[in-house]
Structure 1
């Protein structure tokens, strides 16, 4: 699943939370996201900025669903998880034995394969600690980090009902 397809399938409340977090913690990131999406649609950012916050977020979510917004969508998901969900990333890396900086930023290269047993345990831990929809969105986003994803993770995303986006 590509990034824009994630935005087509994710619960809108997660997108709302993501953009609210951006607005509250990193106003420049929020403005950049809005500006990039407006430019991508050949609109002036002021057109979108005149809308209410709720309408801005709805407009951004709808725009991120478009194939033409795929690169922006992937980048926003990466930034959100790297800055806004550090504990989740660190927990996942710890569960898989991936070296990281303590905040989930991988040090070195990502592994070529994921051990299925460690992956299942790491997923179970995430689902115990965090919102199920957020975990599913994170794992789908993580699987985009290599060209073909990881087969063990793709299998879990396809077959584990707890990891469905909708």
Structure 2
């Protein structure tokens, strides 16, 4: 799935959670993302900023659902996971045996293949500790990190009912 497809499929509450996180922790990223999305629609930033917060979020989500917002949408998801969900990323990397910096940021190369048994173990651990919708979104975003995704992860996302996005 591409980023715009993820935004079309994901529970809007997760997008609200992400946007809230940026507004609370990195307001510059939120403002920059809104400005970039406004530019893609040929709007001035102030047009979006004058809306009440709930309407801003609805507008951002609607815009992220478009194919033209794929790049900014993927960057937002990556930034949110890398900065706001480090514990979950580190746990995934630990179980999968992927070298990381202790915060879930991969050091070195991503694996060429993913072991299905380790993946099952990692999904079980993550779903037990975190919101399954958040885990699913993370795994979809992780699967975007290699062209075509990893076969085992793609199959797991398609077959495991716990990994539904909405």
1:14 equivalenced with 2:14 (yes/no): yes
Residue 76 of structure 1, CA deviation = 0.6
The CA distance in 2 between the partners of 1:9 and 1:132, in whole Å, is: 14
1:165 equivalenced with 2:135 (yes/no): no
Q: Runs in 1 of length 4+ with deviation above 4 angstroms?
A: none
Quote the residue 2:77 is aligned against: 77
The CA distance in 1 between the partners of 2:42 and 2:87, in whole Å, is: 37
Residue 40 of structure 1, CA deviation = 1.4
* DSSP 3-state at the match of 2:144: helix
Residue 52 of structure 1, CA deviation = 0.7
Deviations 1:44-81 (A, max 9, x none): 11110000111111100010000111111111100010
The CA distance in 1 between the partners of 2:45 and 2:100, in whole Å, is: 36
| TM-score computed with the length of structure 2 as normaliser | 0.99
Structure 2, unmatched stretches of 5+, are none
Deviations 1:128-166 (A, max 9, x none): 000011001000000000111000000000000000112
**Within-5 A mapping of 1:66-145:** 66-145=66-145
The CA distance in 2 between the partners of 1:19 and 1:58, in whole Å, is: 11
The CA distance in 2 between the partners of 1:41 and 1:102, in whole Å, is: 39
The CA distance in 2 between the partners of 1:22 and 1:54, in whole Å, is: 15
1:152 equivalenced with 2:152 (yes/no): yes
**Within-5 A mapping of 1:30-41:** 30-41=30-41
Structure 1, unmatched stretches of 5+, are none
Residue 42 of structure 1, CA deviation = 1.3
| TM-score computed with the length of structure 1 as normaliser | 0.99
